[in-house]
């Protein structure tokens, strides 16, 4: 690792320390779920925060190593072997963390009489983390498998969310996630727009104050829903206009 600058070494060390601190919170949540039928909203948020952070920090470290690998010239074969060994250790730790988090979510989903809102939340997390994995896997077959698994879990979460109240936070959140997933991974603009439009209409139908109270400030999620809808609406209408132009050319 002598090829790394002092700043790069410090950044890797900071990532490692931050992940270890949050991992303690994750372990605490693992102990909590052993004695509870389900988690409340705050506990779910803590679990999601801890899981997100430890995975993201490990992925950030892996991305930094990949970038350094591109920039570095390993004249010494021993240095190259050491670098490759360290990189593989990070990859192994990432997969171990991913497996551990999936087992926690599976344990929660296996509870009897679980509320629909809880299932929506845990399935969305499972889908999100398969998506994270897909984004950092280089092997094409494993990447595609992770994308497929992410789609399955997000689909289940989205379908279950339709039985929640139209104003339910989790219903809105999975609507945003699922619309973006269709656009980012399947390039399915029509499906992304349809889901984004449905989610936006859910919000508008409930939040009548958006129209009648000009002083109201949107929450972060409401802003995301609004921006998502406007983004996909513009793209969909432009694609529709382009298609009509092509049809007119064929006719005339």
Mean pLDDT of 122-138: 95
pLDDT at 218 > cutoff 60: yes
Q: Whole-angstrom Cα distance, residue 135 to residue 181?
A: 12
46 or 234, greater pLDDT: 234
Mean pLDDT of 89-93: 90
Residue 152 is predicted with a pLDDT of 98
Burial of 155 (0-12, 13-18, 19+ CB in 10 A): middle
37-89 pLDDT, tens digit per residue, is 889 888 899 889 989 988 988 898 888 888 888 777 766 777 788 888 888 99
Q: Whole-angstrom Cα distance, residue 129 to residue 98?
A: 7
Task: Assess contact for 221 and 173: CB atoms under 8 A.
Answer: yes
210 or 116, greater pLDDT: 116
137 or 182, greater pLDDT: 182
CA distances from 232 to 76, 170, 173, 195 (A): 51, 21, 16, 10
pLDDT band at 92 (very low <50, low <70, confident <90, very high): very high
pLDDT at 125 > cutoff 70: yes
CA distances from 76 to 8, 68, 73 (A): 20, 16, 9
pLDDT band at 32 (very low <50, low <70, confident <90, very high): confident
Residue with tokens 């064929």: 250
Residue with tokens 């050319």: 249
Whole-number average pLDDT of the chain: 85
Mean pLDDT of 102-117: 93
pLDDT at 201 > cutoff 70: yes
64 or 24, greater pLDDT: 64
pLDDT at 6 > cutoff 60: no
Q: Whole-angstrom Cα distance, residue 136 to residue 34?
A: 31
208 or 204, greater pLDDT: 204
Residue 1 is predicted with a pLDDT of 47
Burial of 182 (0-12, 13-18, 19+ CB in 10 A): buried
Mean pLDDT of 134-145: 92
112 or 232, greater pLDDT: 232
* pLDDT over 70, % of the chain: 83
Residue 20 is predicted with a pLDDT of 61
Q: Can you give the pTM of this predicted structure?
A: 0.84
* pLDDT over 90, % of the chain: 51
Residue 48 is predicted with a pLDDT of 92
Residue 171 is predicted with a pLDDT of 97
Residue 112 is predicted with a pLDDT of 87
In 3D space, the residue among 228, 180, 184, 183 whose CA is nearest the CA of residue 202 turns out to be 228
């Amino acid at each position: 690792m002598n090829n790394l600058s002092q700043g790069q070494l410090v950044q890797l060390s900071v990532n490692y320390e931050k992940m270890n601190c949050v991992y303690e919170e994750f372990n605490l949540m693992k102990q909590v779920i052993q004695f509870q039928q389900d988690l409340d909203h705050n506990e779910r948020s803590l679990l999601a925060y801890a899981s997100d952070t430890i995975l993201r920090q490990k992925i950030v470290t892996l991305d930094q190593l990949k970038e350094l690998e591109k920039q570095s010239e390993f004249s010494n074969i021993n240095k190259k072997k050491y670098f490759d060994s360290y990189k593989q250790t990070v990859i192994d730790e990432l997969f171990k963390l991913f497996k551990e988090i999936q087992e926690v979510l599976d344990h929660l989903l296996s509870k009897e009489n679980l509320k629909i809102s809880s299932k929506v939340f845990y399935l969305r997390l499972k889908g999100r983390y398969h998506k994270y994995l897909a984004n950092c896997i280089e092997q094409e077959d494993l990447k595609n498998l992770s994308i497929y698994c992410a789609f399955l879990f997000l689909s289940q979460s989205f379908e279950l969310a339709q039985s929640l109240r139209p104003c339910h936070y989790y219903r809105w959140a999975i609507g945003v996630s699922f619309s973006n997933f269709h656009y980012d991974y399947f390039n399915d603009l029509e499906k992304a727009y349809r889901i984004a439009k449905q989610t936006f209409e859910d919000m508008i139908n409930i939040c009548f104050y958006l129209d009648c109270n000009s002083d109201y400030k949107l929450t972060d999620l409401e802003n995301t829903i609004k921006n998502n809808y406007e983004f996909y609406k513009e793209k969909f209408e432009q694609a529709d206009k382009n298609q009509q132009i092509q049809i007119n050319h064929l006719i005339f």
